[in-house]
Chains A and B, each alone.
Chain A
Amino acid sequence: MEEKELTGKNSETNEKNNRIKKADIILIAAALMIGIIGLIIYSVTRTKGLSVNLYQDGKIVKTFSLDKDAEFDYESDLGKNTIVIKDGKASCIWADCPDKLCVKMSDIENDGETIICLPHKLVIEVTDSDS
């Protein structure tokens, strides 16, 4: 059985690499702190957006106001997405892309928040400028 035939040398070198070290703990703590503090700063400083821009390939193709409820089908060479504005929030409720990640992403309402459909190169972004 291969698993039982650990040679002394190999298990020794493994042993050295395997034990959790102080640097690991510092790394975990630092990474989690950066992420959590960043998210706290983000959630405190965020402001409610006024309108939503629809970007295809980095260019604005459509702008919606967040005040008015709307439903819009966007179609490009890459595929179709259905975008809905409801109660001041924007979401992508339907898409014909394979992964449907844009549909699963949560509703957006704050300045700078985005919904991204990678296969369709589509970005739905909230801005604080008037449409």
Chain B
Amino acid sequence: MRKNKQIALRGALIALALVLSYLESFIPVFVFVPGMKIGLANIVTVIALFTLGIKDTVIISLGRIFLSGVLFGNITTIIYSIAGAAVSLLFMILVKRLKIFSVTGISIIGGITHNLGQIMVAAILLSNARIFYYMLILVIAGTFAGIVTGILAKTVMERVDFNKE
């Protein structure tokens, strides 16, 4: 029974992340730097990291990236998404261990390092290291995006008990 519940929960969270990243394509935020996003799907990643653990978080992130890549993107968008997700997840896991940040702080680290991962891939794919200057504006953007997703993830976790049997 426990296992069935876990499978269902993973599926539901992948679906939720998928819907959030789709919904986000309709919100033209931060128009001053094109391509900048809040990263609403990161809400699901943060929730999974805090309530289900690392393994499930990786499964949910990969599931979401693969499905949204196949449905709305292409191989390039999948590569960018995986790079962003891998770097941000790694940093979020590390800073969570420090136990000095709240959900919001960890989400901010995730937001900033997600951008870092994507810039790294862009620099490699474009063979141009000078585009790293975008990181200055992306640090600021990632901070605000992390605050928004962190507060939303925190609110959801306060209201829904994911570990309930």
Chain A residues within CB distance 8 Å of chain B: 2-3, 5-7, 10-11, 14, 17-21, 23-24, 27-28, 31-32, 34-36, 38-39, 42, 55, 57-59, 99, 101, 104-105, 112, 114, 116, 118-119, 121, 123, 125
Contacts and interface: CB of A to CB of B under 8 A. Distances in A.
Interface in B115-157: 122, 125-128, 130-131, 133, 136-137, 139-140, 142-143, 147, 154, 157
Given A2-B161, A31-B112, A125-B128, 10 more contacts: A18-B102, A18-B103, A24-B101, A24-B102, A27-B108, A101-B34, A104-B34, A112-B130, A114-B131, A118-B76
A114 B140 contact: no
B160 A24 contact: no
B83 to A, nearest CB: 12
B140 A18 contact: no
Nearest to A102: B34
Contacts of B133: 42, 112
B163 interface: yes
Nearest to A4: B159
16 contacts: A6-B158, A10-B161, A10-B164, A11-B161, A18-B158, A21-B105, A23-B100, A23-B101, A24-B102, A24-B108, A38-B136, A58-B128, A112-B130, A112-B133, A119-B76, A125-B130
A5 B164 CA distance: 9
B74 to A, nearest CB: 8
Contacts of B38: none
A28 B125 CA distance: 30
B interface bracket (residues with beta carbon within 8 Å of A) = 35 or more
- Consensus secondary structure, chain B interface: helix
A-B pairs with lowest CB-CB distance, top 7:
A58-B127, A24-B105, A35-B140, A104-B34, A38-B136, A35-B139, A23-B100
B104 interface: yes
Contacts of A42: 133, 136
B109 interface: yes
A17 B128 contact: no
A39 B141 CA distance: 13
A42 B126 CA distance: 22
Nearest to A111: B130
B147 A28 contact: yes
